[in-house]
Amino acid sequence: MITCEGLVKIYKTDEIEVVALQGLNIQIDAGELMAIIGNSGSGKSTLLNILGGLDRPSAGQVKVGDWDLLKITDKQLVDYKRHTVGFIWQNNARNLVSYLTALENVEMPMMLSGNYDPAYAKQLLEWVGLSHRMNNKLQELSGGEQQRVAIAISLANRPRLLLADEPTGSVDTKTADMILAIFQRLNKELGVTIVIVTHDLSMAGKVGRVVAIRDGMTSSEFIARNSAMTADDGSGTGLAGDDHEEYVVLDRAGRLQVPKAYLTALQIDGKASMEFDGEKIMIKAPKVITASEGTAPNSHTVGGKTK
């Protein structure tokens, strides 16, 4: 469904350039429900905005279904945003019109795209557990309820792809679990591909695959050991625990990101030495050659034997 290769996004403001994505690679299958995690400023929203057609990439490849988002025309982009992709923004105010009712909010994107279907709008609000609040104005709903309206709105035009930026950022744990359960149901019953950006590790722990972004690049991936895991099994103990296996991501050229904490701990800066023993690859601080050793054949070990 989604392929990004060497994706670059540079924001230019006055004199300053920010490289928000620096050659990011990611592949997401149709029908997947997956999460993206990463520190603040790592490029998560930037990636989602590009996938959602809200922002243009600077370079690299980005394809969603049959669409090439680097080459897409402005006119095609409008079509893409209306029919292929649904978006739940990090800032809820962007999703909703406060003086309209919940139902009117869901109907609006349908009207804009010419697919007005009030019965489906009601059904979506039932799906997110809001049939009893349909005719309330948005400003009369709680934050968690508004977030669920935002989910219903994002699905109004039956998108194949749903992008959610911190959908549980400002709700309590119970509402967060409910939102995740809605996503799981949409994914299973409608087959919608869902990408969730989150800071919430317990939420990330409950989906099949989690991709971690660091400094605008994919750094590692966590894959559930039991791929049939669901939110209600209650066993999400966090990442890289019992539930997820962690893998480091290599790009096509074999490049990988070494976590800063590891480099700092070993005082590696700029250069490192690498050893391969037939089974493992070890990255070590460069060997300091002391005056007494001179340039004599050095004595590093490979596979336990001294050479």
Ligand X SMILES: Nc1ncnc2c1ncn2[C@@H]1O[C@H](COP(=O)(O)OP(=O)(O)OP(=O)(O)O)[C@@H](O)[C@H]1O
Interface positions with ligand X (CB under 6 A): 11, 13, 18, 20, 38, 40-46, 90
User: Residue 203 CB, nearest distance to ligand X (Å)?
Assistant: 14
Residue (40 or 299) nearer to ligand X, CB: 40
Tell me how far apart the alpha carbons of residues 204 and 216 are, in angstroms, rounded to a whole number. 19
User: Residue 106 CB, nearest distance to ligand X (Å)?
Assistant: 26
Q: What angle do CA 86, 87, 92 make, to 5 degrees?
A: 140
Closest CA to 76 of 60, 56, 48: 56
Closest CA to 215 of 272, 257, 247: 257
Residue (102 or 164) nearer to Mg ion, CB: 164
Closest CA to 46 of 216, 256, 287: 216
User: Could you give the C-alpha distances from 280 to 160, 251, 276, in angstroms and in order?
Assistant: 41, 19, 6
User: Residue 20 CB, nearest distance to ligand X (Å)?
Assistant: 3
Closest CA to 300 of 266, 280, 289, 291: 289
Q: Which residue's structure tokens are 């709700």? A: 171
Tell me how far apart the alpha carbons of residues 102 and 134 are, in angstroms, rounded to a whole number. 5
Tell me how far apart the alpha carbons of residues 1 and 212 are, in angstroms, rounded to a whole number. 19
Residue (45 or 168) nearer to ligand X, CB: 45
Q: Which does 295 bind (CB under 5 to 8 A by kind): ligand X, Mg ion, none?
A: none
Closest CA to 93 of 6, 169, 24: 169
User: Residue 134 CB, nearest distance to ligand X (Å)?
Assistant: 31
- Interface residues with Mg ion (CB under 5 A) are 45
Residue (40 or 267) nearer to Mg ion, CB: 40
Q: Which does 110 bind (CB under 5 to 8 A by kind): ligand X, Mg ion, none?
A: none
Q: Which does 46 bind (CB under 5 to 8 A by kind): Mg ion, ligand X, none?
A: ligand X
Q: Give the DSSP H/E element, type plus range, for residue 111.
A: helix 102-112
**Amino acid at residue number 266:** L
Tell me how far apart the alpha carbons of residues 72 and 83 are, in angstroms, rounded to a whole number. 15
Q: Which does 84 bind (CB under 5 to 8 A by kind): Mg ion, ligand X, none?
A: none
User: Residue 19 CB, nearest distance to ligand X (Å)?
Assistant: 8
Q: Which does 20 bind (CB under 5 to 8 A by kind): Mg ion, ligand X, none?
A: ligand X
Residue (42 or 154) nearer to ligand X, CB: 42
User: Residue 44 CB, nearest distance to ligand X (Å)?
Assistant: 4
Residue (91 or 264) nearer to ligand X, CB: 91
Pairing mode, strands 193-197 and 33-37: parallel
User: Residue 117 CB, nearest distance to ligand X (Å)?
Assistant: 33
Residue (13 or 299) nearer to ligand X, CB: 13
Tell me how far apart the alpha carbons of residues 217 and 214 are, in angstroms, rounded to a whole number. 5
